[in-house]
Amino acid sequence: MRRTGVVPPLLRRALAPRTPHCHRHCDRPQRGHNLRALAPGWLCVYACPGGAVSVITYSEWSNADPTARLLPFVRAHTTPATLVRRRDLRLARRHGPELGAEAERYLARVHPPRAVSTVYWRLYPFKKKDGTVFRLFVCFRHGTERVQFFVAPGNIMSPPCPKCRVRTR
């Protein structure tokens, strides 16, 4: 079997969200973007083609809590970093029955048994004092290890990244 922490492709497929469309933004299909930034686990950003983020997940095939790995990464790549609060990260431990029959059979062969620990970060849309609704967006132009998260008005389909905007000046 694989070493602790590494999430095999079969378990990655079982962990993928079942909601294929971007809700409250564009209703276009969202997809998972794998990031190679954190080891040994699996970091994935689920976003629509316009960059609106649904959820960011970090999973490790381990019984340990991987929150301490995700929190500093997300803070370092979010503008402003104050948007990332420890209390907004949710931990879930997934076991065989929750992941489907194929994943359950795979997990049953592992001794000692271990769950898949997943930390979720979701920033729900929020209103500013002027009534403008803002939501979380992602820019992948900086590479998969230096991705940039930022907030922008929710009615914009592909808002410009603040980091990219600074570079072009």
| pLDDT string in tens for the chain (169-residue length) | 455 678 888 888 888 777 677 766 777 788 888 887 777 889 999 888 888 898 899 999 888 899 999 999 999 999 999 999 998 999 999 888 888 888 888 888 887 778 889 999 988 888 888 888 899 999 988 766 788 999 998 888 888 888 887 655 5
* Inter-residue contact 142 to 163 (CB < 8 Å): yes
Contact 62, 93 (CB under 8 A): no
Within a domain: 22: yes
With respect to residue 2, please indicate whether it lies within any of the assigned structural domains: no
- Residue 35 pairs in a beta bridge with 43
Write out the two tokens for 123. 């920033």
**1 located within any domain:** no
The amino acid at residue 37 is A
The total of structural domains in the chain comes to: 1
Contacts of 90 (CB under 8 A, 6+ apart): 119, 120, 121, 122
Tokens 């979010």, residue located: 78
In a domain, 3, yes or no: no
Alpha-carbon gap, residue 56 to 49, rounded angstroms = 15
Sort strands 89-94 and 133-139 into parallel, antiparallel or unpaired: unpaired
Would 18 be classed as within a structural domain? yes
Give the range of the structural domain holding residue 131, as residue numbers without chain letter.
9-168
pTM value is 0.84
Q: Residue 161: inside a domain, yes or no? A: yes
Q: Is residue 43 part of a domain?
A: yes
Instruction: Go through the chain and tell me how many residues it has.
Output: 169
